[in-house]
Amino acid sequence: MPSTGPAAAAARAEFREAMEAKGHAVENARRAEAGLEAAFESGALQKTPILVAMLADLSVALEQDDGQKLGGKSAEAARFILRAISRELDNA
């Protein structure tokens, strides 16, 4: 059953704002991921198995070695995964 109430609605809106923000897709993805994790920890949203898998995929897309800059394929992968997470958030 999806989470309801003002905290759930705010968490979804904040995720979508971070996802659509101006700026680099990788930085936006990191901010969106952090906000989503905070929403899970606070109980505003409930994790679904699909979200857990998507967040694991996002984590891989955002991995970088020291000094490495992410862009190109990582940015496109992050945008793709964020859109999928956004759709699944209605079930969280």
Q: Greatest CA span in the chain, whole angstroms?
A: 42
Let me know if residue 39 belongs to a domain: yes
Q: Which amino acid is at 9?
A: A
Let me know if residue 42 belongs to a domain: yes
Token pair of 71, please? Answer: 């862009």
pTM: 0.80
Let me know if residue 49 belongs to a domain: yes
CA 13 remoteness from chain centre: 12
- Phi and psi dihedrals of 22, rounded to 5? -65, 150
Let me know if residue 1 belongs to a domain: no
Owning domain of residue 38 = 6-91
CB-count exposure of residue 28 (10 Å: 0-12, 13-18, 19+): buried
Domain count, the chain: 1
The pLDDT score that the predictor gives to residue 14 is 94
Q: Could you count the other beta carbons within 10 Å of the beta carbon of residue 4?
A: 8
Q: What confidence tens digit (pLDDT) does each residue in 23-77 have?
A: 878 888 889 999 999 999 999 999 899 999 999 988 887 776 455 554 556 778 8
Let me know if residue 13 belongs to a domain: yes
CA 92 remoteness from chain centre: 12
